[in-house]
Amino acid sequence: MIYLDYNATTPVAKEIAEAMQPYLFEYFGNPSSSHWYGQQTKKAVEQARERMAKLLNCKSDEIVFTSGGSESNNYALKGYAFQNKDKGRHIITTKIEHPAIIEVCKYLEQEGFELSYLPVDETGRLRLKDVEEAIRPDTILISIMYANNEVGTLQPLKEISALANKHNIAVHSDCAQAVGKVPVDVKELGVDLLTVAGHKFYGPKGIGALYVREGIELQKLIHGADHEMNRRAGTENILEVVGLGKAAELAMIDPESRMKRERNLIRLLREGLEPLGDFRINGNTKFSLPNTLSISFKNLRAVDILANMPNIAASAGAACHSDAVKISATLDAMNVPFEYAMGTLRLSVGKYTSEEEIGSAIEEISAAVSLLRK
């Protein structure tokens, strides 16, 4: 099998698994306990918090550990909205957000909030003028993903934050796809809230973090004891917190070389598929994740292509139900023509992808597409 689905999830890195192992058997104490066992796990939690803070360039007490990206997004949006509803009930987001944002926004609409879902251009990038025109006197929050999980397009988050700051509006960004792939500096980006998901950069599943800028108040999502600086109740998941901290540490090692390598792999993949013709590349060529290729083959169905390349793990940009084809919200918002959108593959590389695998993938994808065209 050739794994080209790193945007869906990443394997746990060996170094991370090794760092976690002692906390499965030897160091099992409750970090809220005052005895030796509790002290050891408390130290481990705080070390992980410091590593996460260093990766994002923030203070360690601005990091709250959660169960993953979905919880972080829920906590950020619901927590800020309900805490600040007396200031306004209008929230701005985009049409291409992950369901962990869109579904929260739909819930908030049921609770009396008003949402503006902004369009994107044909490359999947937001226009600043659309953000500015959407701002109202009662706008309290803007939530914009930094990197799109399907096509890899990066948003002008720094400029959006600067615009929001002029109007005293808080900014949240779902950075689950960005952290560990491109530099994510909360001070440079100017955001107030930022979501991290551990399994997107070689950490374990079921662990994430939320950056909460000092001074930002959120209504609690999970009530109970005063864990996580009284922000998120529940005994800390020591094993996975340690894994997330190690993932953050590894992400800081020579990121430029990592991005250069992944860009090269994607270039080889794209060039290797060019002889097939009759396809289009989706996304922004200048502002994009280095590891992602969204490619659409005209008049073919993605599900059929995937079925004819059993040795490759990849994702489809369109889902098929009986005789119906449902295009993803991202491709729809980008106005990708239906005859192309239905045949969209998302191919994403990572730490363990080799050039040899890329060569084999080119052969198998080419064979599948050629067969279906016949």
Structure confidence by residue, pLDDT tens digits, 269-278: 999 999 999 9
- Which of 85-99, 264-278, 319-333 bottoms out in mean pLDDT, i.e. has the lowest? 319-333
Quick: pLDDT tens for 218-245: 999 999 999 999 999 999 999 999 999 9
pLDDT at 110: 98
Q: What is the pLDDT of residue 319?
A: 58
Helix (H, G, I), strand (E, B) or coil at 277: coil
Q: What is the pLDDT of residue 265?
A: 98
Taking only the tens place, the pLDDT of each residue in 48-83 is 999 999 999 999 999 999 999 999 999 999 999 999
End-to-end CA distance of the chain: 25
Question: What pLDDT does residue 326 have?
Answer: 86
What domains sit in the chain, N to C, each tagged with a CATH number?
2-8+254-373 (3.90.1150.10), 14-251 (3.40.640.10)
* Pairing label, strands 170-174, 139-143: parallel
Query: Sorting pLDDT into bands at 50, 70 and 90, what band is 349?
Result: very high
- Of 336, 260, 350, the C-alpha closest to 302 is 336
Give pLDDT, residue 253: 97
Answer whether residue 286 shows pLDDT above 60.
yes
Rounded CA gap, 281 and 225, in Å? 50
pTM score of the predicted model: 0.96
Q: For a pLDDT cut of 70, what percent of the chain falls above it?
A: 98
320 flagged as catalytic? yes
Write the pLDDT tens digit of every residue in 147-202.
999 999 999 999 999 999 999 999 999 999 999 999 999 999 999 999 999 999 99
- C-alpha 171/C-alpha 163 separation (Å) is 10
Residues in CB range of 347: below 8 A, 6 or more apart: 4, 266, 269, 292, 293, 294, 295, 314, 361
Catalytic residue, chosen from 58, 105, 175, 320, is 320
pLDDT score recorded for residue 325? 76
Whole-number pLDDT of residue 317: 80
User: Residue 323 has what pLDDT?
Assistant: 60
**H-helix segments, the chain:** 14-20, 22-25, 36-56, 69-83, 99-110, 128-134, 157-166, 186-189, 227-230, 238-251, 255-273, 302-307, 329-333, 338-341, 355-373
What confidence score (pLDDT) does residue 200 get? Answer: 98
Name the percent of the chain lying above pLDDT 90: 97
State the chain's mean pLDDT as an integer: 96
Average pLDDT, integer, range 2-13: 98
Report which DSSP code applies to 60: G
pLDDT at 322 over 90: no
Report pLDDT for 320: 53
Hey, is 232 helix, strand or coil? Answer: coil
Phi, psi of 313 (to 5 degrees): -95, 115
Q: What is the model's pLDDT at position 131?
A: 98
Evaluate if residue 4 carries a pLDDT over 80. yes
Best CA proximity match to 119, nearest among 91, 88, 96: 96
At 121, the pLDDT band (50, 70, 90 cuts) reads very high
